Structure 1
Amino acid sequence: HTVSPQWLRQQSIDQAIEDSQSMVVLNHPNWWQNFDHWPTNLLMQMRRYHGVEIFNGVMMGEVGSAYALEKWDMLLGSGQRVWAFANDDTHHATGVGRGWNMVWAREPSAQGVREALVSGRFYASTGVKITTISATDKCIRVETDNARRIIARRDLGQRITHVDGPVMELESGQWGDANYVRFEAWGEPEQFAWTQPFWLRG
């Protein structure tokens, strides 16, 4: 189900979820010349949607930006718990595979995949493969196959630290009073992976 942001209001989201148990993801937020397909104030006002596209493959050839990490961090910083999605949004075979989401599904079914996406048990990627994510109260560990650098970020995108290599461990003393932390894994040019946020307060 597709709705235009010009007339989308909270009632539309509520109805989509209640009528069909839909999963609501807001696509290519930084499309158009003013980078405002989804204006930040509108994103902040709405509730109950599940996520935003932080990468949209078709936008690599359109006006605006394929990436929307800054809007995601603003949402997370305001307390909205929304997930990050990477989608190729391809309209032609040549665009397949530019972005995707890797899920940890409890069962190999459409319902299992949907449940994993709604619950945030997935990461978004344009080419970097994350093999393990583990977390305790004192440490978060991210392992990848092909990252050259991993960056840990906290509230509003602030960088905590980075490591050059495929594995990162972040200890509680490093994240301090952060409300959330998330990880970016950088590989070859234009190849990234993004974890979902780890909420540290409440």
Structure 2
Amino acid sequence: MTTARLRPEGPADVPGVRRVLGEAFARPGVAVPDEVTLVDALRDTDAWLPELAMVAEFDGGDDDSIPEDAETFGQVVGYALLTRVRVDPAGFPALALGPVAVRPARQRRGYGTAVVWAALDAAAELGERLVVVLGDPAWYERFGFAPASKLGLTSPWSGLGAPWQALVLPPDVSGAEPVPPGEVRYPPPWSQV
């Protein structure tokens, strides 16, 4: 079984993160995927929360098929990003999950699930209450995501139906302010995706 060290992204990780995103979202005829450009642009905004940009760093574990000097040893193999969004008209602070990526050679080994859990756990520890995502419902339901429409949340992507999802963190806090319905407002870099 392979293992990973999960931690917030540091300045030295930027090239590795760009590589993971570039490989995971590669499309024919596209030199730099939108997801790479999005993350680069978000780093320069108030929406960027460095403690919620999580990487999975390959550490080899007991996977004998990967020699210790392999290209991926000690390198970023997975990524999950949470950035600040707001629910208007209340101005309720929330988080957007995405992009989430794993290097293609390391997919289906649990890195994606692990790095998303690390990001969600870090958000809960910081007292965050709401996370939204646009993605495959079958994959994101394992984390507790459900259709955002059930919370009365809309966005530029709410017309897509089931892929527009939300998760209330933590789910069982008594006395916590309820999540208000409204329009989820994303920072400007998201409009480029």
Question: Is TM more than 0.5 here?
Answer: no
Q: TM-score, normalised by structure 2?
A: 0.29
Q: Say which structure is richer in helix.
A: 2
Greater relative contact order (Cα < 8 A, sep 6+): 2
Q: TM-score, normalised by structure 1?
A: 0.28
